[in-house]
């Protein structure tokens, strides 16, 4: 019953694993206003669900990564899926915003194994161009979820109220637990001498963060992800509350932008398969992301936000993210294969911490009649990603090639 690593089914299995946080985030987006009304809080306060989910998602990998290096990838996935299931049930029965937010932190911690373990599995099994191609195709598989999750969330909201959404998420966790238990064979080269003690864990993370190549690409990836989550956190508040779209219509807009990421990741995978190096698509993606975000910010400040132009620029920015993410993640994972779990955890933690901070700020500073908090943070993060590549990652790569 084990799925061969070279197969399409294995890519889909990894895609399902990496998509777990997208289920947890995107299915809830159409319900923020309804959750706020049911729990007697403002929609922006309900939006803290996103940032607190990201908080758990950011810091749990710091334990998952070293644990997977010592005990294997599979036991960590089993534990994390179980945590996600329990938290989904807890969210479904929450009677106050504070209780809901606590369970969302736990749910995020359960989802936190997804990116860390998937990156480590790919690093265990694939090298160089093959790893980059695999990351691109995993990204395509995961984008199916953001394309359909808001629409599914809106349907569940209409059929069973907002509590049906976390109940469905518990079911998703159960399906992933079953799929990984049956289809995945352990990929880690477990070293019994690799002790799971604080000094060893700290030393491994220090190796990752003091490696200029790792750090440069980690920052590129994190900043690009911050721009994406400025959009994710702010788009429903702006498009539903300010523009007046219905939840189902918003789901279609979100699907269109998700297709942009899929298109970017697909193009990156094809370029990789054709032997094109990662520098070209990464540079193009970073420039496109910064240009689209800066133009959106300019339009916001000018109070000129025609819906068709806004959606087109959002799709372009998401297309750029599809070019950026696989190359930045592969660049971060490549230098230290012997501690792939720690490298993946550091990449995921810093990425999600950026997402949590940005989404929290967007929700807190949101004006229901303006997109300013969303577009401002999209612009800041996109420029930061481009600067991190030009000033940190690219010079470190040149130095590594010469040494």
Each domain of the chain, given as residue ranges in start order, spans 8-181+207-402
Token pair for residue 242?
């300010």
- CA 383 to chain centroid, in Å, comes to 19
Mean pLDDT (the chain) is: 88
The C-alpha atoms of residue 217 and residue 157 are separated, in whole angstroms, by 39
Torsion 355-62-80-78 (CA) sign: positive
Which of the residue ranges 29-38, 79-88, 167-176, 307-316 would you say has the lowest mean pLDDT? 29-38
Token pair for residue 142?
């995961």
pLDDT at 165 over 90: yes
pLDDT at 151 over 70: yes
Residue 24: CB atoms within 10 A of its CB come to 32
Question: Under 8 Å CB-to-CB from 217, ≥6 apart: which residues?
Answer: 328, 329, 331, 332, 393
- CA 71 to chain centroid, in Å, comes to 25
- CA 6 to chain centroid, in Å, comes to 24
Residue recorded with tokens 């002790």:
195
Which of the residue ranges 80-84, 107-111, 140-144, 372-376 would you say has the lowest mean pLDDT? 140-144
Token pair for residue 272?
């990789």
Percent helix / strand / coil, the chain, rounded to 5: 85, 0, 15
- CA 107 to chain centroid, in Å, comes to 14
| The CATH number of domain 8-181+207-402, selected from 3.10.20.440, 1.20.1250.20, 3.40.50.1010, 1.10.760.10 | 1.20.1250.20
Q: How far is CA 91 from CA 70, 103, 177, 192, in A?
A: 32, 6, 19, 38
Token pair for residue 92?
């479904």
Residue 402, SS3? Answer: helix
Task: Using a pLDDT cut of 70, give the percent of the chain over it.
Answer: 97
Higher pLDDT, 394 or 232: 394
Total-model pTM:
0.77
């Amino acid at each position: 019953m084990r799925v061969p690593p070279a197969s399409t089914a294995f890519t889909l299995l990894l895609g399902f694993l990496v998509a777990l946080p997208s289920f947890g985030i995107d299915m809830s987006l159409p319900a923020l206003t309804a959750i706020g009304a049911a729990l007697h809080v403002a929609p922006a306060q309900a939006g803290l669900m996103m940032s607190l989910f990201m908080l758990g998602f950011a810091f749990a990998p710091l334990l998952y990564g070293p644990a997977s290096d010592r005990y294997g990838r599979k036991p960590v996935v089993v534990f994390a899926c179980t945590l996600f299931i329990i938290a989904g049930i807890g969210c479904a029965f929450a009677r106050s915003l504070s209780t809901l937010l606590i369970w969302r932190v736990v749910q995020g911690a359960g989802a936190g194994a997804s990116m860390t373990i998937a990156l480590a599995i790919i690093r265990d099994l694939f090298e160089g161009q093959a790893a980059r191609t695999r990351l691109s195709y995993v990204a395509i598989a995961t984008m199916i979820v953001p394309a359909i999750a808001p629409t599914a969330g809106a349907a569940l909201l209409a059929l069973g109220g907002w509590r049906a959404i976390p109940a469905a998420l518990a079911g998703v966790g159960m399906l992933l637990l079953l799929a990984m238990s049956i289809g995945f064979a352990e990929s880690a080269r477990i070293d019994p001498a690799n002790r799971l003690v604080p000094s060893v864990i700290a030393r491994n993370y220090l190796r990752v963060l003091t490696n200029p190549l790792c750090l440069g690409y980690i920052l590129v990836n994190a900043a690009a992800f911050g721009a994406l989550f400025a959009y994710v956190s702010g788009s429903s508040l702006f498009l539903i509350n300010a523009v007046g779209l219905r939840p189902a219509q918003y789901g279609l807009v979100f699907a269109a932008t998700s297709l942009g990421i899929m298109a970017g990741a697909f193009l990156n995978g094809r370029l990789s398969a054709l032997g094109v190096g990662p520098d070209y698509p990464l540079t193009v993606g970073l420039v496109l992301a910064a240009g689209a975000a800066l133009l959106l910010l300019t339009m916001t400040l000018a109070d000129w936000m025609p819906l068709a132009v806004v959606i087109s620029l959002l799709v372009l920015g998401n297309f750029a993210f599809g070019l950026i993410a696989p190359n930045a993640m592969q660049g971060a994972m490549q230098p230290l294969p012997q501690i792939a779990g720690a490298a993946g955890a550091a990449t995921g933690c810093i990425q999600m911490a950026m997402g949590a901070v940005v989404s929290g700020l967007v929700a807190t500073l949101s004006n229901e009649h303006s997109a300013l908090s969303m577009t401002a943070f999209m612009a800041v993060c996109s420029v930061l990603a481009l600067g991190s590549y030009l000033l940190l990652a690219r010079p470190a790569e040149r130095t590594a090639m010469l040494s």
